[in-house]
Amino acid sequence: MNPFFSVGGSISLTTSSTTDTSTTDTSTMSSSISHNIKKRPIAKDVFITPKVLSKIHIDSIDYKDTDLWLDPCKNSGSYYNQFPTENKESCEILEGKDFFEYRGSPDIIIQNPPYSILDTWIKKNIELNPRVISMLIGIGNLTTRRIEWLEKAGYGLTKMKMLKVYKWYGMSMIVNFEKDKESIIEFDRTIYREDKVEEVKVEEVKEEPKKKKKLVIRSVISAYYPPPPYEE
């Protein structure tokens, strides 16, 4: 198991706060804090999804009565306990069930995956070949490269829902990828650069210092005289 990977229940792909201060406002986090999140030596992956949000996520999936559901990081069961069927399985490293050792054949995998090993996690999802791969992730983590991996494996992005979770870093989103479905998003991985502009050499022209002019202020006093009386 990855030594930096602490699986727990519904795990947030979003990296949340870098401090343990309850008053931290992560919706306006500075770039230095964001940098520290990326560079910290031990990942802070365990963030439990609120039950109400887990239910919203579950309800976003078009499922069949015969589907086998998989929660790959069960923890408290905020997802697992609300699945609409008893035809379900789970993984939880704290219970000795490592997702990377799972060999089942689920129809639906729904998760709030760990940020620190997201690439490996997505590839494991693809390897299991479910009909639906659904994730709650940070908005900045839905990269074109990851979409491309899923599309090459036959998955189209069919649903997206943006949302905000208190104290999670930035905006999050629910994304549903379905096997053999057309994607609702187009992407281009070309890196575009600015057009080259011919440099124009501008000679510096030094102007002679202007002579100082004496400023003369003249004040004008206006007197008001009423107009003569009008004749009838």
pLDDT along the chain (232 residues), means of 10: 33 31 39 50 64 97 97 95 98 95 98 92 98 95 94 98 89 96 92 84 68 58 52 51
C-alpha neighbours within 13 Å on the C-beta side of residue 63: 24
Q: Are 13 and 113 in contact (CB under 8 A)?
A: yes
Q: Are 42 and 4 in contact (CB under 8 A)?
A: yes
Predicted local distance difference test score (pLDDT) of residue 213: 63
Q: Which of 106, 90, 114, 85 is nearest to 179 (CA)?
A: 106
Structure-token pair, residue 152: 């090459």
Q: Are 82 and 55 in contact (CB under 8 A)?
A: yes
Predicted local distance difference test score (pLDDT) of residue 196: 86
Predicted local distance difference test score (pLDDT) of residue 168: 82
- Distance CA(43)–CA(28), nearest Å, equals 21
Q: Which of 88, 142, 79 is nearest to 111 (CA)?
A: 79
What's the CA angle centered on 58, arms 56 and 62, to 5 degrees? 115
- Distance CA(160)–CA(173), nearest Å, equals 7
Predicted local distance difference test score (pLDDT) of residue 3: 30
- Distance CA(25)–CA(18), nearest Å, equals 11
Predicted local distance difference test score (pLDDT) of residue 26: 39
Centre a 10 Å sphere on the Cβ of residue 138 and count the other Cβ atoms it contains. 20
3-class DSSP state of 164? coil
Its pTM stands at 0.68
Which residue's structure tokens are 């365990």? 46
If you count DSSP H runs as helices and E runs as strands, how many of each does the chain have, helices first? 4, 6
Predicted local distance difference test score (pLDDT) of residue 42: 46
Backbone angles phi, psi at 84, to 5 degrees: -80, 20
Q: Are 177 and 132 in contact (CB under 8 A)?
A: yes
